[in-house]
Chain A
């Protein structure tokens, strides 16, 4: 059972906006930065969003992150077929002294 809670799935049609939630606690999301990773089918995870809504070079600005209290969310605007992937939130946890990942959300483009 993951420390961070994500919905198992999300979907949308091309061009729609999809939002993925990530719920944690005061020892992780509440006090640490939240990072998001994208894992395309059959590939290694890739950093998608880090720190305060920063995107690594090459990540489209359709992806954005936000945080409020002990919850965070990832938004994908203008959904595209290549966005079909698993998405994971993650944060350092001061109580566990380790990184904690969300359970992952599979995004399907209808």
Chain B
């Protein structure tokens, strides 16, 4: 059974940093591209970042470019999102998702980890 389990969320002050993790199991992790998608409270889905299977290709949404860094450790079946200079508008439920190709559909999703940016 495919499982994606996010962790690392919490309450953080504006300007501070947070690192999210996503533990994958049930599939061959390094065969898949991975993504972060967020959802602000009561709002729709917003794509955040994507990384290819071998980390060669990385994309970011303009809203997080220069502040967030996506990475992965294929040996540990793990995906990460380093979030720096956090803002109130980054408050959201952060999902990790997998896809067979970098530009493809997101076939599996985790349950999300909540990030709240507030003083």
Chain A residues proximal to chain B, CB less than 8 Å: 2, 32-33, 35, 37, 39, 43-47, 50-51, 56, 86, 88, 90, 92, 96-104
Contacts and interface: CB of A to CB of B under 8 A. Distances in A.
Contacts of A101: 37, 44-47
Given A39-B45, A88-B44, 16 more contacts: A2-B44, A35-B106, A44-B109, A46-B109, A50-B105, A56-B107, A86-B44, A90-B45, A96-B62, A98-B47, A99-B35, A99-B50, A100-B47, A101-B44, A101-B45, A101-B46
B59 A97 contact: yes
Interface of B: 35, 37, 44-47, 50, 59-62, 95, 103-112
Contacts of A86: 44
Contacts, number: 61
Interface of A is mostly: strand
A99 B48 CA distance: 9
A44 B112 contact: yes
Given A47-B106, A47-B107, A99 B44 contact: no
Given A44-B110, A97-B59, A32 B103 contact: yes
A92 B103 CA distance: 6
Given A44-B110, A97-B59, A98-B50, A88 B45 contact: yes
A37 B112 CA distance: 16
